[in-house]
Structure 1
Amino acid sequence: MRSAIMTLKLIYPALAMIFWIFVVGVILALRRKDAFTSGAVRMDEVSVSTERYPLPARLASANFSNQFETPVVFFALIMLAMEAGATGYAMALLAWLYVASRIVHTFIHIGPNRLPLRGAVYGVGVLALFLMWLGILLAVL
């Protein structure tokens, strides 16, 4: 029973990350809709390239794309951790730290977009992934 409870500790951050990807998708859709309804862009202008969208829509698009970069590693690590039994509190904490870093990264990216701050938050997330990887490696050695 303890193993199932510990595994659940990793399912929750994975579900939260998936939910966040949906949230960013909705933000992107709303910003693109605003671009069309305000007349800032026409459909024929963005049918091939998204460069003509106004900055808020481009930032949301870039952030949405980001949700399919390091999160892929996160999901792989979650599955590997469950398979290896590396499902303790430290792993769960690192998983939540990663999810939190992605959420904060989004708010910075689609908001003030201050690159040094955005990069630092991104680095925290990557560090959490590295530590998750290290925890799994130690569990299987």
Structure 2
Amino acid sequence: MTIKLIYPALALILWMFIVLGIVFQRRQKAFASKEVRLSDIAVSTERYPEPARLAAANFSNQFETPVIFFALIMLAMHVAAVGYIMAALAWAFVATRVVHTLIHVGSNNLKLRGSVYAVGVVILFCMWVGVVVTVL
């Protein structure tokens, strides 16, 4: 039964690698087009063009709320809070992270991006409640 929670965790890790690939691709493009030189970014990455900075910012975001997600996955597995609802919540959180990235590296619509982020936080809270209810 606990295996159900492994899949969304692995999917989010894969997504994080994909985002890192986007960062590398956009930075490489900036170098290839001569928009930036190594000396420009030796001290700070602020000189990268906006698409590269957005991708890097999103990669950094992958180490914010997803940290809570991974902790909740481990706790849920430890206390056997691994039912279908928890699995659905886990997959829903992964979906919010994918959508958040697509907005962040695309249109970067802050209102929409913030809404998706908030939905992800609510999902994490629901996962936390599921773990707490199981423990009690």
TM-score of the pair, normalised by structure 1: 0.96
Residue pairs, 1:85-96, within 5 angstroms:
85-96=80-91
Partner of 1:50: 45
Distance 1:48 1:73 in 2: 31
User: How far 1:73 moved relative to its partner?
Assistant: 0.5
Partner of 1:105: 100
Structure 1 runs (4+) deviating above 3 angstroms are none
Where does the alignment leave 5 or more consecutive residues of structure 2 unmatched?
Answer: none
Distance 2:91 2:39 in 1: 41
1:34 aligns with 2:24: no
Percent identity over the alignment is: 65
**What letter matches 1:29 in structure 2?**
F
Alpha-carbon deviations, 1:105-130, whole Å to 9, x = none? 00000000000000000011111100
Distance 1:68 1:48 in 2: 22
**What letter matches 2:90 in structure 1?**
A
Residue pairs, 1:53-72, within 5 angstroms:
53-72=48-67
Distance 1:72 1:43 in 2: 32
TM-score of the pair, normalised by structure 2: 0.99
User: How far 1:132 moved relative to its partner?
Assistant: 0.2
Distance 2:30 2:59 in 1: 17
Partner of 2:71: 76
User: How far 1:17 moved relative to its partner?
Assistant: 0.3
Of residues 6, 26, 35, the one that matches 1:11 is 6
Distance 1:48 1:14 in 2: 34
| Matched residues, number | 136
**What letter matches 2:53 in structure 1?**
R
Distance 1:18 1:46 in 2: 27
Of residues 97, 115, 118, the one that matches 1:123 is 118
